[in-house]
Amino acid sequence: MTRLSIDRIETAVHKIDSVFQNTPQYFCPHLSRVLGCRVVLKVETLNPVRCFKGRGTETVLANLEAAGGQKAVVCASAGNLGQALAYSGRNRGFGVTVTASSAANPLKIERMKALGAAVVLVEGQIEEALEAALTHSRETGAFLVEDSKNIDTCEGAGTIGLELAKLPFPLDSVLISLGAGAMATGIGFALKNRCPDTTVLSVQPQNAPALTRSYLAGAVIDSGPPHTIADGVAGRYVIPDVLTDMLEVVDDALLVEEDSIVEGMRLLYSHSGLIVEPAAALGIASILENPGHFRGQTVATVLCGSNVAPRDFENWVNH
């Protein structure tokens, strides 16, 4: 049974700063012509942290405020969760510490600091950063915000699904980028409650397939270390509770190649004028790799972030 609650997702709407809500969602005719299906873009990049994560951090901190007590939080982040937690924490009077890999995106690290987070860099990848966050939580009493494991992060993301359900036309499929699983499970659950005929599809890089391979196997498996440009979805280890949720609300899980991710970024820029980070282009990449499956459908894809260094974007898109 899933951990998610449609009542809590609906309640989260009233807890989340309006700057993160009611984001643009529209039919893009130019991209649709190129891809051979009716493409609806859900743009989650037009906010102070340029990604969807603020919906989750707002929900987490609002619930902590309501419970009283601890006013310090910590998370491990590749960048986007840390920025969102720093933004929400600053506005709500929480002290925020973020642990991150020393190999993390420098742009995202600087933005976390600029938003007031104390950033602690550790050797290794996101898993080592999580260990450091756990240690910090135990030693200081700071509340650990663990993306996707903390159900508030999933249900905050689920408010995106409520908004998609208000479109004046039905969706055949929704494509959702998959990392740790908060967005896929939250949006998927909301859509299953509001639009049960819509097919919910998660998309993950072939080079960072941990949760997808576990979903397809029906059990947690180790897929080895990730090697993808999509740093926002590049985790190695699967949270068992999230896998259980995903098995209930996601209809299928797709994997895409690195070249398709880059081409997806290029198409979004050239045909819709949008700059996105690699993780946000996974939905378009999946359409490119499965044109026959989506031909003639009405397909929404969630553009989950645009925290990409200009030089990196130019190098990928122009080459």
In this prediction, residue 127 carries a pLDDT of 85
Query: How many angstroms separate the CA atoms of 163 and 151, rounded?
Result: 19
38 phi, psi to nearest 5 deg: -80, 105
- pLDDT tens per residue, range 238-255: 999 999 999 999 999 999
Which H or E run includes 25? strand 25-27
Residues in the chain, total: 319
In this prediction, residue 105 carries a pLDDT of 85
Q: 214 — alpha (psi -120 to 50), left (phi > 0) or beta?
A: alpha
- Is there a shared CATH topology between the 6-47+150-318 domain and the 54-144 domain? yes
Nearest Cα to 302, choosing from 140, 177, 182?
177
Return the CATH architecture of domain 6-47+150-318: 3-Layer(aba) Sandwich (3.40)
- pLDDT tens per residue, range 37-70: 999 999 999 999 999 999 999 999 999 999 997 8
308 phi, psi to nearest 5 deg: -135, 135
Contact call for residues 26 and 40 (beta carbons, < 8 A): yes
Nearest Cα to 245, choosing from 153, 156, 301, 181?
181
Question: In sequence order, which residues have a C-beta less than 8 Å from that of residue 31 and are 6 or more positions away?
Answer: 39, 41, 267, 268, 271, 272, 284
Contact call for residues 50 and 305 (beta carbons, < 8 A): yes
Structure tokens at 311: 């030089």
In this prediction, residue 74 carries a pLDDT of 98
Question: Helices 258-272 & 282-289, crossing angle to 10 degrees?
Answer: 110
The residue ranges of every structural domain in the chain are 6-47+150-318, 54-144
- pLDDT tens per residue, range 65-94: 999 978 999 999 988 999 999 999 999 999
Cα-trace Rg, the chain: 18
Longest Cα separation, the chain: 55
Query: How many angstroms separate the CA atoms of 101 and 82, rounded?
Result: 12
**CB-count burial class (<10 Å; 0-12, 13-18, 19+) for 227:** exposed
In this prediction, residue 103 carries a pLDDT of 86
In this prediction, residue 235 carries a pLDDT of 82
Question: Taking all residues of the chain, what is their mean pLDDT, rounded to a whole number?
Answer: 96
Nearest Cα to 233, choosing from 278, 268, 289, 201?
278
Return the CATH architecture of domain 54-144: 3-Layer(aba) Sandwich (3.40)
Nearest Cα to 316, choosing from 272, 256, 255, 268?
268
Can you name the residues that pair with 253 across neighbouring β-strands? 202
Query: How many angstroms separate the CA atoms of 55 and 227, rounded?
Result: 28
Query: How many angstroms separate the CA atoms of 71 and 142, rounded?
Result: 8
Contact call for residues 216 and 223 (beta carbons, < 8 A): no
Model pTM? 0.96
Contact call for residues 65 and 27 (beta carbons, < 8 A): no
Q: Would the pLDDT of 133 be above 90?
A: yes
- pLDDT tens per residue, range 292-303: 999 999 999 999
201 by DSSP, 3-state: which?
A: strand
